[in-house]
Amino acid sequence: MIPTGTTAVAQATVDPDPTKGWFRRLLPVINAHRVAFSIVLATGLTGLAVQVSVPMVLRQAIDVAVHERTGNLETYVLLLVVMALASFGLRFTYRYLLFGTACRIETDLRSLLYGHLTRLSFSFYDRVAAGEVISRANTDIRSIQLLLAFGPLAGLSVVSFFMALGFMLSIHVPLALVTVSTMPFVYILGQRLRDQVFPLSWVTQGRMAEVAMVVDENVNGTRVVKSFAAETDQIALLAKVADRLRWSATALIEARARFNPLIEALPRLGMALVLLYGGHLAIDDQLGIGSLLAFSGYVTMIAVPFRMFGFVLLQAQRAAASAIRIYEILDEQPEIVDRPGARALIDPRGRVEFRGVTFAYPSSEGASSSPVLVDFNLILEPGETVALVGRTGCGKSTVARLLPRFYDVDAGAVLIDGTDVRDLTLSSLRHHVSQVPDEAFLFSDSLHDNIAFGRPNATADEVEAAAQVARADGFIRDMDDGYNEVVGERGYTLSGGQRQRVSIARAVLTNPQILILDDATSAVDVRTEEGIHQALAGILEDRTTLVIAHRLSTISLADRVILLEDGRIVADGTHAHLMATEPQYAAIVAQGEDPGEDA
């Protein structure tokens, strides 16, 4: 069994101090696997000791058993066979553990990043493209994993260099110095390679994210691309960002091509010097043939670190650039969090109050834009159904987003049963406040699991009952696999109306005390909508409901109608009252305006 440090892994996270180097910040995650790394270190060093001892045994066999014609050659042959088997077993063990542990750390980092992403606020996703996040969660984490897999191998090869150097010094000091005479030049070239590679690695990782973003948007938005016959333009866009990636990647390859051959060639020059100088020593009987052969073996060993040097150095620069990009996300603090002392919302009556609320969405630069809501005041009594009506951009959907704390108000307060929502825990608040958005999002999963998303433990009967309320049971049963039918990504194998009905069923199943219907039946035909409303009428009696509507049929669900204009309430009353007294309201209802995506 491979040690994993499972208990520690669950608590491990990167060091939060941004002033520390990228590797020091990663140490807590690595330390969670210290048992496995300890075994890797022990077996690796033991294997190195065996490997480095082979040339000395060979030297002894040649100088003593052959050259001096004494001793027993079979003993040395048997010893070399045993050493070869031991070296194989030890090297297999530490490589197996090393690569397995590196993959586990990769998994830990990906889980850590995903867990943090789930805690980040909506404002983060408003300004960061999905493709950028995906690139950091995949490509950048993989760069760190590769360094953790090959870095220790390079470290062990460095240890083998010093062990081999010690043996060479014990045999012949001047020849050992000749062997390593080229190493200072390797160090100088390595430093110059590092200085060029790091900035190029940073740029390359960023441009890889650009390519991922374009591909992600075109895959998810393929219907839009095809509907506007924009394939040629999007291919040209991808070619443009790919060309930018090609430029930085080519520059990176050129840097490697310029320095790596020299870094690998210099140790071979050292071998040539060994043969030249060592050969003269052997001819003059100042050095035994076995010792010269041992030197040749050690020159091969000390060349290994330098063959790996270029690759590991490049990977280290890539990992450093990738780690910084990952830390940029991990250092991002969620804006919407539980306050100290926040309490759970338990069995709410459902009284909702917006008290003097002013709110503006933050811009991409972090500053606030023009206010969407200004001194907004509204009260929903327990069990009351209130419809918000207004033109596009008047703030209807913003009201719906502030209630479950998707965003926090800039001024004023949103209260449930007299308690500021900021004083309630997010999990309990969102458990009792459920929203059905106008654009229904479904996961690539079965219809049963999509409906049961908010209540994974719901029984099949409960799921079907919720689907019946949403008038989704009929079309679901008509499918080949019924409730086990797997819908495509985002549910695009269903029509817009079908997706909305599944989304309504998902909200109904959670049985929230406060329900928000954000134009939730905009894609449903009038007849089906009427059936949904009839079924909803029974369950809306006992819960507070906020309906964002533009259809008269949807407005009819409400006990009271609120007319919004530029983030302010301009009228409040029944549908009949507003039709008789507010020409603007009558015009909106007559036009049946579709507000689309509200502010």
**CATH number of the domain enclosing 359:** 3.40.50.300
- Please report the pLDDT score of residue 365 as a whole number: 60
* Percentage helix, strand, coil for the chain under 3-state DSSP, each rounded to 5: 65, 10, 25
Q: Which regions of 351-475 does DSSP assign to beta strands (E)?
A: 352-359, 373-380, 385-390, 411-416, 419-420, 433-436
- Please report the pLDDT score of residue 307 as a whole number: 64
Give 568's strand partners.
565
Q: Is residue 310 domain-shared with residue 366, that is, in the same domain?
A: no
- Whether 431 is covered by a domain: the verdict is yes
What DSSP character marks residue 516? E
Query: Order of strands, edge to edge, in the sheet holding 373-380?
Result: 373-380, 352-359, 411-416, 419-420
Classify burial at 512, counting beta carbons within 10 Å of its beta carbon; exposed 0-12, middle 13-18, buried 19 or more.
buried
The token pair that represents 496 in the structure block: 């817009």
Determine the residue type at 394.
Answer: C
The token pair that represents 140 in the structure block: 């950048």
Q: Is residue 95 domain-shared with residue 212, that is, in the same domain?
A: yes
Domain boundary among 273, 299, 330: 330
Q: Which residue has the tokens 């606020």?
A: 121
Domain boundaries, position 551: 352-591
Q: Which regions of 350-441 does DSSP assign to beta strands (E)?
A: 352-359, 373-380, 385-390, 411-416, 419-420, 433-436
Query: Order of strands, edge to edge, in the sheet holding 385-390?
Result: 433-436, 514-518, 544-548, 385-390, 560-565, 568-573
Q: Is residue 138 domain-shared with residue 253, that is, in the same domain?
A: yes
How does pLDDT run across 572-597, given as a tens digit for each residue? 988 888 888 888 888 888 776 444 43
- Whether 251 is covered by a domain: the verdict is yes
Q: Is residue 287 domain-shared with residue 385, that is, in the same domain?
A: no
Asked if 159 and 48 touch (Cβ cutoff 8 Å), the reply is yes
- Whether 227 is covered by a domain: the verdict is yes
Q: How would you label 109-128 residue by residue, b for 16+ Cβ within 10 Å and e otherwise?
A: bbebbeebbeebbebbeeeb
Look at the chain and report how many structural domains it folds into: 2
CATH code assigned at 157 = 1.20.1560.10
What DSSP character marks residue 335? S
Q: Is residue 318 domain-shared with residue 430, that is, in the same domain?
A: no
Per-block average pLDDT, block size 10, for the chain (599 residues)?
40 82 90 88 88 83 66 76 88 88 89 87 80 80 87 83 83 82 73 71 75 72 64 81 83 75 72 78 77 78 70 79 88 88 90 93 68 91 89 86 91 93 92 84 86 90 90 88 84 80 88 85 69 72 83 78 88 87 84 47
Q: Is residue 311 domain-shared with residue 449, that is, in the same domain?
A: no
Give 352's strand partners.
380, 416
Domain boundary among 274, 295, 330: 330
Spell out the alpha helix ranges (H) of 172-288.
173-179, 183-220, 222-227, 231-283
The token pair that represents 534 in the structure block: 């009839």
- Whether 513 is covered by a domain: the verdict is yes
pTM of the predicted protein model: 0.71
Q: Is residue 374 domain-shared with residue 270, that is, in the same domain?
A: no
Q: Is residue 123 domain-shared with residue 268, that is, in the same domain?
A: yes
Q: Is residue 236 domain-shared with residue 87, that is, in the same domain?
A: yes
Q: Is residue 374 domain-shared with residue 307, that is, in the same domain?
A: no
- Whether 597 is covered by a domain: the verdict is no
* DSSP of 547-581: EE--SHHHHTT-SEEEEEETTEEEEEE-HHHHHHH
Q: Is residue 295 domain-shared with residue 371, that is, in the same domain?
A: no
- Whether 337 is covered by a domain: the verdict is no
- Whether 345 is covered by a domain: the verdict is no
- Whether 133 is covered by a domain: the verdict is yes
Asked if 557 and 547 touch (Cβ cutoff 8 Å), the reply is yes
Domain boundary among 296, 330, 364: 330
Classify burial at 336, counting beta carbons within 10 Å of its beta carbon; exposed 0-12, middle 13-18, buried 19 or more.
middle
Q: Is residue 258 domain-shared with residue 382, that is, in the same domain?
A: no
